[in-house]
Structures are given as structure tokens and as C-alpha cells.
Chain A
Amino acid sequence: MVDGPGPSAVAATSPLSDGQEPYRTGALLSLLRLHWFIRLRWALLFTAMAVLMVERFIWPTSVRPGALLAVLLVLAAVNLWWLSISNELWKRTRAVEVVEPHLIRKALAFANAQVAVDLLALTAILRYTGGVENPMAIFYLFHVAIGALVLTRWQAIIQAAWAVLLYTGMGVAVLRGWLKPLFAFLPALPPLGLQERPEYVLAAIGVLACGVFGTLYFTLKIAERFDEHEHLLRAANEALLNSEMAIRELQRRRSRFMQTAAHQLKSPLAGIQTLAGLIRDGIVPEAGVRPTCERIIRRCADGITQVAELLTLARIQEADPRRNRTASVDVVEVIRDVCERNRPQAKAKQITLAAQVGEGSDEATGEPATEAEGHGLRVWLDRADLVDCLGNLIENAIKYTPGPGKVTVTATRCPTPQVPPARFRAPGRSLDTPEPPYYVQISVADTGMGIEPDALAGDEEPTGPGTIFEAFRRGNQALAAGIPGTGLGLSIVREVVEQAGGRLRVQSKPQEGSTFTVWFPADVRTGARRATLSSAGPAAGFHTQVPFEPPPSRG
């Protein structure tokens, strides 16, 4: 016997529960797919009508009450109304970017109304088709289940109570004679008289109530699970989208880098060809041939330097980020080496190159120097990387300081610097590296020409894109002064710092000088421990940087 409004009066595919704003939008959208359920209700109404007609044809003597027909017709009229409301809500939701709370409230009210009216219609149909004797009461459960999935928790509970109340009201009213007893049902299936037996009516109400609340409980539990999973799925999806965007951004940067690199490599070649062509065409005067040849040779050397620096940059970029964590290097020794190497250039320009290394002079930490042999400043870094990093900073300081002047290199141990960490751009690296207990701060200060503020004002961060830390970017003052350079030195510095989980800062005043400061995680082990653990990685408190791991599941 199919003559009810059917099971799917109201349903939606995703749960909507209290206080979980992030996925309201999606839930609301599915709620607005109620279009589909309204259409289903049409189908069921037509089926019910058809069944009534067939019944009439098979048992011509059976007489269905006009009231039953009236219930179906009222339901049809209400459904027509639902349809217009649904259209309206759908239109409004589509029109706005973000679904507003009042739209969510309206959609919920709409869903509630549909469930409540469907329950009422079901009760009315039951009333005219056998009352408590009609097993079609099972359809209450569908409505309750659907309500639990679509509505908020309390709304679903109220709808369940409404269902039980309706059924109880119908049963009790017939039992007590407040409603007229059932008229003749099917001739082949006469009334059993159960609706007049209190024990049966009570049992039927009890069973229905148990069924309704049991269904409510389990469906709410399932909906909760759904919620959790949907939440996790959305979070995972968001993370995926973010990392896809990061990869796209990285790709864009890479291709821009390639383009710039190719341009920069082409420049010396173009210069060489142009100058050689001038010599060939006899445009260079006799006296100018030799200097022009010198220029060509210098240009070749420039090109070779550029290729070498690009290779260095590639080596650092390609390096396994964990590599820096398994070996530490003595800062003092590297500073001495690099200074020694640059002393001739400094001397030639009358620049004093001074190194002040505060071995254990860490008043900030309040700890005595830990190294018996006097090498208290070690950082988690490959020696070659530190040499590249400091080499570039010291060479720059000398290059951009007109003599006489002074370049001072200092190194001290310090706690966490008040400088944001260099951003990790490459995907596949952990964003939340534990904070190391101490850093070694190395600064290179000069009394040189300084850097114009423009070259330090990046789009995003003081050492980011658009600044002199970007590959091939050179300061205007450097260009104006005609100082040769590849524009790669500071990108190498930044890359080393990023890879090591360090920090980087530049302070500069045009015509007064610049100070570049880098911080690297300090190796705080004692000499003896280091000897035994030389390849064991960092000491307690600073852990190996692990590759990207998904956040722990909350489910």
C-alpha cells in the first residue's frame, strides 16, 4: 500500500549541526538541493493518486473518504508553495559570495517546516487508512532520520517529539472516541478493532516512540561522524589547495628565475660579441683595441663567475634540508679563514677588516663558555655553506665600502632573535621546526655607501622578492657606482639562512653603511659530547627537520 507522502519528504546529503560554521556553506547548499525532494514528493503524490484509482478499479466497492483525497490535495498545494520558497532561497544563495547567517536560518526554518508538515500529513493519511492498525507508521522513522541528518540537534529532537505526539494523539483520540472510529477500510481487509483496545494502542505508541527515539539517537551519532569526516576532508582539501597554490607560485618564481638567469648569462656573451664585432669592423680605434680586448676578457671572467655562483645557488637549493642538522661548524674558524682570504682586497682599498668574536661572551644566556678549547661558537651548518654565506657578506662589505673605511665582523651566542624566521618557500619542508635553544649571531658591518630603502622594501618581507636578496637584483647605488657584481651573492646568503632555519636582517643607511646580520641555530654540545656524537645529529632541544608530514588526524 503506497499512499503516503513517502519516505523522502525532506532530506539532504550533508549534515548541518550546531556551531560548526566552516562547513555551513556546503551544508546549506545541499539543503537547498531540496528541489530534488520536492520533486520526489510530487512523484509520490501522483503514485498515491494512481494507487487509489487502481484500488477503485480492482475493488469497486471500496470507498475511500474524500478527506484522504483532501489531505493529498493539500499536500500537493503545500508542495507547490515549498517549490516557490525553494526557488527563492536558491536564487538568493547563488547571488551572494558568502552565505549569510540569516540565509542559513531561513533555510533551516524551511527544512523544519517541511519535516513538520510532512509528519502532520503522514498522520492524517494514517488516520484515514487504518490508524494504529496501519503499519505505514514506519514512515515516521524515515522523517526522523532525515531530520537528524539535515537539522540541528535540538530541532531534530523536537521533530521526533512532534512525530510521537502526533501518533499518540491519533491513537488516543480514536481510542477515547474523540475522533470518529475508522470507517470501512478495504472490503477484503475489514477493521480488526485493534484501535479500540487500549493495550494494543499503548503498545503501538510505545513501540513507535522507541523506534523514533532510537532512530534519532543513532542517526545523530552517524551525523556526528559524518561531520567529523567532512571536517577532516575539508581541512585536507584546503591543505591540498594551499600546497597546490604554493607549488604554482614556486613554479612561477622558478620560471621567472630561469628567464632572468638566461638574460644575465646572455648579457656577458652579448657584450663580448658586440665588442668583438667592433674590433672586426675597425670601429675601435687602434689605441682602443687593447683596452677593448681587456674588456672582453673581463666579460668572459664575469660570465664564468656568474655560472659558478649559479651553480653554488643550485647546490644550496638542491641540498637536503636535513643535511645541515647532522654536522656543525666552528664559526670563529670560518670567520678567520674568510677574513684572511679577503684581507688583500681590503688592504688595497685601505679598509680595516676587524673580527670580534665573543667566544662564550653570551651575557644574554647567562651561561659560561662551554668549550674548554675555546671554540664556543658552533652552528648547525655545512662548512661550505657557511663559507659561501659569510664570504659573500664580507666580500660585499669590502666591495661597497669606498676606502678608507672599516668592515667589522662580530659573532656572539644569543637566545632566539627578535627577527621572523626566513620563510621556507620550497614545498616538502616542515613549517614548524622546533625552536633551537640558542643561536649564533654573526654580523658584518661596513662604513660603505649603504643601500637605498627601495632595494630593501620587498613586496612581502624585508628579505623577500623585490629586494636585493632576490637573484640578480642589485642596488641602484651599486649600479650607479659601476661596481661589478652578479646580483647572486645575497640570494646565496638568503638561501643558506633559509635552509639552515636561521634568521636574516639588514640595516642600512645610505652613505653611512650597512649591517647584515645572520643567526644560525647553535650547536650547544660540549667538545667531548661532540666527539662521540659527531654524526649523531643535533643535541636535545633541537631536532632534525623532518620532511612534510600531514597534521595528526583528529578523528
Chain B
Amino acid sequence: MNTQAKHIVLIDDDPDMREAIRMVLEPLGYRLTCCATGAQGLSVLRQDGADLLLLDIMLSTPTEGIDLCQSMKGDPKLRALPIIMISAVGQTTGMDIALEAGGGVLPAELFLEKPLEAQVLRDAVQRFLSNKE
């Protein structure tokens, strides 16, 4: 285990989901920053950086999550940041939204559909953060 806690940024407009994810991830020793809007999230990412981004697709607009990924692509510091998308829409709908927003493919390494199972989330996060070692 490395000594410095890994930083995970979560962007989700749903306060309950933020709370639930916090309850699952914080006991594992991660540092978690929760944001309700894409703009908030982006400023946290730019200031503090992160090791992993958990991102909802539909925020204040149906494509805000996708738009955020696109603006991250243009940022050399954030381009390589792994993203796990978490959405109540299924992966197919998510891909449709991504296609419509002009991004083509779903710009994420992994797609998790809500409702979340604690174990699934845990596994996914650990996979990404241990791979990076």
C-alpha cells in the first residue's frame, strides 16, 4: 500500500449517490472529492488533479458528462485520467448520448449502471488504482 491516499473525484448531481459512494470508498482509504456540477468538478480536477474520475452522464444537461470528458481531452494534464462512468441510463443509451454529443464513442474506461452494488464499485475502483502502480 502506498502511503499517500489516492485521490478520486466524483461528479454526480444526486446527493444520495454521492453519499453512498463516499460510504463505500472512504473506508478503503481513498481521498474522495464530491462535486455536484461539471464545472465544480473540472475546477477541482484542474487544481488538485486526481487518480480516477467517477462521472455521471446526465447532470444539469443530458450531455454534461460527455461534454466534460471532451473538454478534459483538450487538457494535457487531464487527458490520461481514467474515467468510470456511472449513470442510471444503460450503456447503450449512454453511447447514444455520446454519439449525439459528437464524441463518437463513450469516453470512459468503464461503465457502471446505477443502482450500484458496493462490491462492484469497490472492485472497479481498486482495479484502476492498483493498475496504475
Chain A residues with CB under 8 Å of chain B are 256, 259-260, 263, 266-267, 269-275, 277-278, 281, 283-284, 288, 292, 295, 299, 455, 466, 472-476, 479-480, 482
Contacts and interface: CB of A to CB of B under 8 A. Distances in A.
Interface string B6-45: 0000000111110110011001000000001101100000
B118 A283 contact: yes
B88 A480 contact: no
B126 interface: no
Interface stretch (B46-54, B58-66, B68-76): B58-66
A271 B14 contact: yes
Contacts of B37: 476, 479-480
A273 B16 CA distance: 11
Contacts of B60: 455, 473-476, 479
A284 B118 CA distance: 11
Given A277-B117, A476-B37, A267 B88 contact: yes
A277 B118 contact: yes
A487 B89 CA distance: 18
A267 B118 contact: no
Contact of A260 (B27, B59, B62, B115): B62
Contacts of B79: none
B18 to A, nearest CB: 9
A153 B15 CA distance: 76
Contact of B89 (A263, A288, A479, A482): A263
Given A267-B88, A283-B118, A278 B23 contact: yes
Quick one: which of B17, B88, B89, B119 has the most chain A CB within 10 A? B88
Contacts of B13: 474, 479
Contacts of A473: 60-61
B16 to A, nearest CB: 4
Contacts, number: 80
B77 interface: no
Quick one: which of B14, B117, B119 has the most chain A CB within 10 A? B14
A291 to B, nearest CB: 9
Contacts of B93: 259, 263
A277 B24 CA distance: 11
A277 B89 CA distance: 19
Secondary structure at chain A's binding surface: helix, strand, loop or mixed?
helix
B80 interface: no
Contacts of A475: 60
5 contacts: A263-B58, A266-B89, A283-B23, A284-B23, A455-B60
Contacts of A277: 115-118
B59 A281 contact: no
Given A473-B60, A480-B36, A275 B20 contact: yes
A256 B19 CA distance: 29
Given A270-B114, A473-B61, A476-B37, A275 B24 contact: no
B36 A274 contact: no
B36 A479 contact: yes
Quick one: which of A267, A288, A473 has the most chain B CB within 10 A? A267
Quick one: which of B17, B93, B118 has the most chain A CB within 10 A? B118
A480 B40 contact: yes
Contacts of B17: 270-271, 274
Interface in B82-133: 88-89, 93, 114-119
Contacts of A283: 23-24, 27, 118
A273 B115 contact: yes
A295 B119 CA distance: 21
Contacts of A266: 88-89, 114
A326 to B, nearest CB: 38
A281 B62 CA distance: 32
B61 A274 contact: no
Nearest to B16: A271
A27 to B, nearest CB: 41
Nearest to A477: B37
| Across the A-B interface, the 3 shortest Cβ-Cβ residue pairs | A270-B114, A273-B115, A271-B16
A440 to B, nearest CB: 33
Given A277-B118, A295-B16, A299-B16, 20 more contacts: A256-B62, A259-B89, A260-B58, A263-B58, A263-B93, A266-B88, A267-B114, A270-B17, A271-B114, A277-B116, A278-B23, A278-B24, A281-B119, A284-B23, A474-B13, A476-B39, A476-B60, A479-B13, A479-B36, A482-B36
Quick one: which of B17, B19, B93 has the most chain A CB within 10 A? B19
A277 B119 CA distance: 10
Contacts of B40: 480
Given A274-B116, A476-B60, A288 B23 contact: yes
B9 to A, nearest CB: 15
A278 B118 contact: yes
B115 A270 contact: yes
A277 B21 CA distance: 12
B87 to A, nearest CB: 8
A262 B40 CA distance: 26
A270 B114 CA distance: 6
A99 B50 CA distance: 59
